[in-house]
């Protein structure tokens, strides 16, 4: 006698339920300092290279993209060219004034739970604030998402640390560490203006416990061509742009994107891409002694 499926039947013929975290979530991440629009850049000003920036992003097709330095017209140009992405963030003076640390995410793949911004200062909830000797405001944009297929939650923080004052850079990193969520996998992208030998990088990858997608990559990474800042020369000078993470099962396919499009470099920084596989939220481990959050991103 043939019977229909029943509860508990190992061979249940019904469509499997989408149990949370049954499948590992892998996503492609990009960090990209756009270089703000400056007429003094001459042949390298934004209007001459914006199509190259769009081509670069389109070819890489990241699931998550953290940009730095883009002014309103620059991030809006990207949003217009990539309608399948949502854009998050406000400018460093508040509202739409000056540079953004914008987050772009695939709307077809991720559901946005919450997002916001904070400023790297003694008054982080005051737009445009600065405290530690930096000449311009520095900030971070954050978001929490759920992967629609698996219901896996995760978070993304995108930032641009100070380029002139080392103590401001370190204190900014410390504030970001205090506000990082500890309960879900986390990706951190940005232009840190910090080389690997410096204290800020060592703090984030040491005491804070973030993995560097280059050194943690499961797949081989060339020992050459990993510098990301090049001043429109096409020859890398310093590695200061990073994709870091916590609660990451593995990174793979790390790459510094060096290609020109139409003979143009898209920025004075090379973008960086990597694939990240997330662990289940209950498996996120925070190092003993890591900074305690003052305010968990939620």
Position 296 scores a pLDDT of 33
pLDDT of 17 over the 50 cut: no
Report residue 225's pLDDT band, with 50, 70 and 90 as the boundaries: confident
Instruction: Give per-residue pLDDT as tens, 236-274.
Output: 999 999 999 999 999 999 999 999 999 999 999 999 999
DSSP 196: T
Instruction: Give per-residue pLDDT as tens, 73-120.
Output: 999 999 999 999 999 999 999 999 999 999 999 999 999 999 999 999
Mean pLDDT, all residues of the chain: 90
Position 15 scores a pLDDT of 34
Region for 217 from its dihedrals, namely left if φ exceeds 0, alpha if ψ lies in -120 to 50, beta otherwise: beta
Q: Rounded to 5 degrees, what angle do the CA atoms 219, 195, 214 make?
A: 5
Instruction: Give per-residue pLDDT as tens, 28-77.
Output: 999 999 999 999 999 999 999 999 999 999 999 999 999 999 999 999 99
End-to-end CA distance of the chain: 54
Q: For residue 219, count other CB atoms closer than 10 A to its CB.
A: 12
Q: Domains in the chain, please, with CATH? A: 26-283 (3.60.10.10)
Question: Do 77 and 50 form a contact (C-beta atoms < 8 A)?
Answer: yes
Packing angle, helices 46-60 and 72-81, rounded to 10: 40
């Amino acid at each position: 006698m043939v019977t229909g499926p029943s509860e508990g039947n190992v061979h249940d013929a019904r469509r499997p339920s989408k149990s949370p975290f049954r499948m590992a979530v892998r996503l492609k991440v990009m960090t990209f300092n756009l270089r703000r629009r400056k007429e003094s850049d001459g042949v390298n000003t934004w209007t001459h290279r914006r199509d190259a920036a769009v081509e670069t992003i389109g070819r890489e097709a990241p699931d998550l993209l953290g940009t730095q330095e883009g002014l309103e017209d620059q991030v809006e140009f990207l949003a217009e060219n990539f309608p399948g992405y949502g854009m998050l963030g406000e400018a460093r003076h508040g509202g739409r004034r000056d540079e953004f640390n914008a987050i772009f995410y695939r709307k077809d793949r991720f559901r946005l739970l919450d997002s916001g911004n904070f400023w790297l200062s003694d008054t982080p909830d005051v737009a445009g604030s600065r405290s530690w000797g930096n000449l311009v405001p520095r900030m971070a944009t954050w978001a929490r998402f759920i992967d629609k297929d698996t219901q896996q939650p995760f978070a993304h923080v995108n930032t641009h640390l100070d380029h002139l004052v080392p103590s401001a850079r370190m204190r900014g990193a410390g504030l970001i560490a205090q506000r990082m969520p500890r309960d879900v996998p986390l990706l951190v992208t940005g232009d840190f203006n910090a080389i690997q030998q410096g204290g800020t990088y060592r703090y984030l990858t040491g005491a804070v416990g973030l993995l560097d997608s280059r050194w943690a990559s499961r797949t081989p990474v060339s020992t050459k061509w990993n510098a990301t800042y090049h001043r429109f020369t096409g020859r890398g000078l310093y590695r200061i742009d990073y994709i870091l993470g916590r609660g990451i099962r593995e990174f793979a396919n790390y790459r510094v994107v060096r290609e020109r499009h139409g003979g143009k470099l898209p920025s004075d920084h090379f973008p960086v891409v990597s694939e990240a596989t997330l662990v289940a939220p209950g498996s996120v481990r925070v190092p003993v002694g890591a900074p305690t959050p003052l305010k968990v991103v939620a």
